[in-house]
A and B are shown apart, each in its own frame.
Chain A
Amino acid sequence: MSSPDFVRHLGFIGQGLGRRKSVWEYFHIDLPLLVSLVILLGFGLMVLYSATDGNLVLMRRQFAFIIVAIIAMGLVAQVDMRILKRWSGWMYLGGLALLVAVIFFGSTGGGAKRWLDLPLLPRFQPSEIMKVALPMTIAAYFSPRALPPRFKHVFWSFILVMLPAALIAVEPDLGTALLIAVSGIFVLLLAGIRWKLVFSILGAGILSSPALWIFYMSDYQKQRIKTLLNPQSDPLGAGWNIIQSQTAIGSGGVYGKGWLNGVQSRLDFLPEGQTDFIVAVLAEEFGLVGMLFLLVLYASIIGRGMYIAAMAQDTFSRLLAGSIILTFFVYVFVNIGMVSGILPVVGVPLPMVSLGGTSILTLMVGFGILMSIHTHNKTLIP
C-alpha cells in the first residue's frame, strides 16, 4: 500500500506515513488502541475503588489481573495471524472437549456447572476459551471459501456456532452462550450472508418467541423480562436491582455527586455495585458527564477496532477483527442497557471496568489479536 515515491512528494504531510517503523510497531502494539484501553482501565479502577468502598485487597487483585491481561495482550500481539488461523480448528476442538468435560467433571457453583479444575492449572471457565476460539474458527472456515458464502457453508458454520453455544447453555449459562453465539454469528454477517436470509431468520425468531416463552424459558428468565417492562411490580424482589440502579443513575444528574460520594452504592442500596451494576456507581458519582466520557472511550476503542478490521489484509483477519470488536460493543451495550433499564437483567459485566479478572483477560487477548492483525505483514498482500 505504501508508495515511497508518492509519499516523498507529499512533503511534511507524508512524513508520518513514510517514516520507519516506530518502537510500538516493532513490538506489534497499536498505540491509539492501547492509550484508550489504559485510560479506560484506569478510570475503571477509580470507579471500582469507590464501588468497593476502598477495599484495597480487591483493588490489588484487580490491578494484578490488569497487568497480567496487558502482558497477555502484548504476547498475543506478537503472534502472526496465519499461525492462529492454522491452529484455530484445534483450539475449537480442544475447547469443545473441555466444555464436554465441564458437563461431567465441572465444579458446581450457584446451581450451575461452569468451572473446571484441572491439575497444574488455575480454576477456569472453558467458555472463556470459546469466546476467542469460536469467531476465529468460523473466520478460518470462511477464509478459503468464496464470499458471499453459499447456503451450504452458512449451514455448516451455523452448526459450528451452535455446538459450543448449546454446551454452554446446558451448564446453564444462557448469557454467555448467547454472547458466544453472537460472536460467531457476527462472522457470518460480516462474511456477507444475504440480508434476505438474515431477516427471514429474525422473522422466524420473532414469530417463534411466544413458543419460546411458553416451552423453553424458565421462571426466573420470564421474571426478568416482566421486571424490565414494569420494575414496580415487585419493588423489593426482582425489581429492586433495576429500581435502585436507575435511582443511582438518575440522582447523579449532569455532574454527579462526586467521586466517593455515591450514596446509593455506599449505603448498600445498590446490589452488585462492584460487578454487573458498576455503571450505576459511575453514573451516580460522575453524572452524565462521566457517562459521556465512558461512552466516548468505548466509542474510540470500537472505532479503532472497526478501522483495524477495515484495514486488515485478508478475509480471515477482517472477519475476526470485525467479530471481536462488534462482540465487545455488544457487551458494552447489553450491560449499560440493562443497568439503565432498557434491556432485561442478564449477568453481563461492564467490559474492562467491572470487578473480575477473567473477563478482562479474555477481552485483552481479543485486543492483542486486533493489534497483531494491524501490525503484521501489511505489505504482503495487495
Chain B
Amino acid sequence: MAEKITLQDHQLERQIVLSRILVGGTIAFLLILVLLARLFYLQVNQFDYYTTKSDSNRIRIQPIVPTRGLIYDRNGILLAENVPSFTLSLVKEQAGDIDQALETIRSLINLTDDEVDKFRTRLKTRGVPYSAVPVRYDLNEEEIARIAVNQFRLPGVSVDAELVRHYPQGDAFAHVVGYLGSITEDEIKILDPVNYNGTHQIGKMGMENFYESILHGQVGYETVEKNSFGRIMKVLERTDPVPGQDIVLNLDSALQQAAIEALGDYRGSVVALDPESGGILAMVSKPAFDPNLFVRGISRKQYAELNDPVRTPLFNRSVAKYAPGSTVKPFIGLAALNEGFRTTEDTVYDPGYYTLDKHRHYDWTWWSNKSGHGTVDLQRAIYQSCNVYFWDLAADMGIDRIHDFLFRFGFGRNVSFDLPSASTGTLPSREWKRAALGEPWYPGETLNSFVGQGYTEATPLQLATAAMLMSNKGKWYRPAVLKQIGVEGTPIDQRGFLPDIEIKNPEHWDFIARAMEMVVNRGYGTEYRTYGTAFPYIADGNPVKYRMAGKSGTAQVVAIPDEYDRADEVPEKYREHAWFISFAPIDNPKIALAVFVEHGEGGSAVAGPIARQILDAYLLEDGELKPEYRYPQISEELHEEGEAHDEPVPGDFADVLPVRQNELPLAAINQ
C-alpha cells in the first residue's frame, strides 16, 4: 500500500519512529527505576515501621476469664455451680440489615419483644466494632440445631458456649449465697481493671459478693492473631487464668430445706447456728427469689414482682431488725441474777398490771380475763412470759445496766464474720438516745426495753446468736457462713475474737436454761397458769424426744388502734410479729435457732411449732435423737475439743479476707 504515495521517505520515517521508540523506552526504564525506588523506600527504609504496623494490625491481647469458684454446703452439696450455656450473638457489621436478621431469627426460635428491646439497648451501648452482641441467652438443643441448619441465611450470627452461674437449689439460698449480676457503672470504678478485664458479672449479694475476690480468680491472657473481621486465626501465646477457689459454707442444705418447709407460706426468717463453731447452719428469708433470674438478665415484669412493697422478696429478713419482744427475757433474767438485782427465789406479785408514775401498764393476761399471775419468781416469769416481773425489775435495774449486759450477747452490733450488710439492731441506752434522738431517757421507756419493745430491735441472726451463747454457756464464736476455703481446706476457727461471757455463778446458766426448757415442756398443773406458754402448741400430747429449750416472743408492730374490736379484724400490717428462739439438746447443744414470722401474731402458737419442726428435722432419725447427738459420749469430746480450741488462731484467715465489703445497702436493693 505504501507504494501509492510516492512522497514517503521510508528511511526518514523509520528514523522518526525509532527515535520515538527510544524516547519511550528511556522513559519506561526511568519510570521502572522510580517504582524500584519506591519499593526500596517501603521495604528497606520503612521496614520497621510497617512491620510494627502489620503486627499491631493482627496481634491482639485478650483476657481469658477465670472459672469462678464453686460454692458447697457443709456436706458437699452444690449451692452455686457453673454450667455451659449457649448464647445467640450477632455482629452488626456482618449481619447487614438488623431488622431483617432479627426477623429471620424470630422465624426460627422464640424471641420475646422484651429480649429484642434488650438486644437493641446492648447494641447501642456496645463499644467495639465487630463485637458480638448477645440476642438470646440459654438456647436449648433444638434451638441450636435450628440456627445451625439456617446458618447460611444468618450472616454475622453465631451461637457461642460459655459458662454461666447456676444455683441448683433455686430460691432456697438466694439471700445468703447471693447471686451474680452484670457489673454496674459504679462497680467498674472500684474494680481492678486488669483482673476484671473480660469479666461481665460480679457477686451482688451474700457470699457471692463477700467472697468475690476468692471466687473470681486471676485473669489469664492470650495473644492471638486476628483477621480484619476480628476472628481468631491463631493463638500465639497463652497465660492460663487461675481459677477462683471453691468455698465450703457452714450451711446444711437439708436443714435449710426443712426450715423453708416449716415456715410454709409465712413471710419470715429462720437462722440456725452450730453452738460448737458459730457456723450458720441455716439462713432462710421468705419470700425468696430465684437468683438464676439475675444471671441471665431479669425481665422488667419479673423485676417488678421482686419489688412488691409488701412481699419484698429481695429483702433479707434474717439480718433485718425487728422488735424482739419477750425473746429477750431469758437474757434480762440472767442479767438480773448476775448483777444481783434478783435471786432465783425473789418473787413479785402480779395483779395483771404494773403502775409507774400513776400510769398502769397492763400485762398480756389482763386482756383475757382482767387478772395477773399472782406471785411470780424468775423461772415462772420466763416460762409464763410475765411482763410485770420484768417491769418491776426494770424500775430497779435501769436501762444502762441491761444495755451493757445485752451488748455482751451481741445485741446492738454486727459481730458476724461475713455478713457485713447485717443490721446492728438497736440496743438503747441513755447515751444512745441522746446521740441518736437528742432526747433524755424516760423511765417508761426502760419498761418497754425490758420486754423487748420500744426502741429495742434485733435481727433473727442476733437472736440466734444469743440463743447459741445461752446454749453453750457464753462461749463466743463469731457467726460465719463460710466454713472453709477449698474443699480440702481447714475449717476457720471463729473462737477468740470476742471475749466469752463470764458470769459470777455459772449455775445461773442452767437455771435460765431450765426456765427455757419449761417454756416448751412444762405441762398444765393444778395451779393457775403454771404451764409453759409454748407447751400447748409444741409438746402437749407430743413429747419432744430431746431436751429442747425455747422462748417465744410476740412483738407489737404498732399500738393497735381501738377501732378494731376483735383480733381477726386487725389488718395484717398491724399484726404482731411472732418470734421463737430455741436450742437443743440442752445437755449437749447441737443447734441454736431463731424463728421470725412477720405479722405472725403468736410467738408460741405460730413460731414455736415451726422451731420444733426444724429441730426435729435436724436432730431426729427414725423418730429418735441421732446417736451422735446423745448426751455423754459427744459431750466429753466437745469438752476436749473446747480445750483444744482455747488457743485461737487469729490472723490465719485475715490474709485471705476480701478487702471489698461494699455490698449495696439493703435499702438500695429493696427499692
Contact = CB atoms under 8 A, between A and B. Distances in A.
- The main secondary structure of chain A at its interface with chain B is helix
Interface stretch (A20-28, A39-47, A119-127, A310-318): A310-318
Interface of B (DSSP majority class): helix
Nearest to A257: B54
A342 B43 contact: no
Contacts of B297: none
Contacts of A254: 43-44, 47
A146 B16 contact: no
Contacts of A248: 54
Contacts of A186: 24
Contacts of A148: 16
Interface in A335-350: 336-337, 340-342
**B interface, size bucket:** 35 or more
Contact of B43 (A146, A253, A267, A319): A253
Contacts of A269: 57-58, 227-228
B2 A144 contact: yes
A326 B17 CA distance: 13
Nearest to A250: B50
A191 interface: yes
Nearest to A336: B35
A143 B7 contact: no
Contact of A252 (B17, B43, B53): B43
A341 B37 CA distance: 12
A329 interface: yes
B38 A342 contact: yes
Interface stretch (A58-66, A92-100, A221-229, A290-298): A290-298
A100 to B, nearest CB: 29
A150 to B, nearest CB: 11
B24 A146 contact: no
A188 B254 CA distance: 101
B130 to A, nearest CB: 11
A306 B25 contact: yes
A268 B50 contact: no
Interface residues of A, number: 55
B15 to A, nearest CB: 9
B264 to A, nearest CB: 63
A192 interface: yes
A189 B20 contact: yes
Contacts of B24: 186, 189-190, 306, 322, 326
Contacts of A36: none
Contact of B29 (A247, A291, A299): A299
A204 to B, nearest CB: 21
B7 A251 contact: no
11 contacts: A144-B4, A147-B17, A192-B16, A248-B54, A250-B42, A263-B54, A263-B225, A267-B227, A291-B36, A309-B21, A322-B24
Q: Top 4 A-B pairs ranked by shortest CB distance? A: A250-B50, A192-B16, A267-B227, A251-B54
Given A250-B51, A253-B44, 11 more contacts: A146-B5, A249-B39, A267-B226, A287-B43, A295-B36, A299-B29, A302-B25, A309-B21, A326-B24, A333-B31, A341-B42
Interface of B: 1-2, 4-5, 7-10, 12-14, 16-18, 20-21, 24-25, 28-29, 31-32, 34-36, 38-40, 42-44, 46-47, 49-51, 53-54, 57-58, 225-229, 233
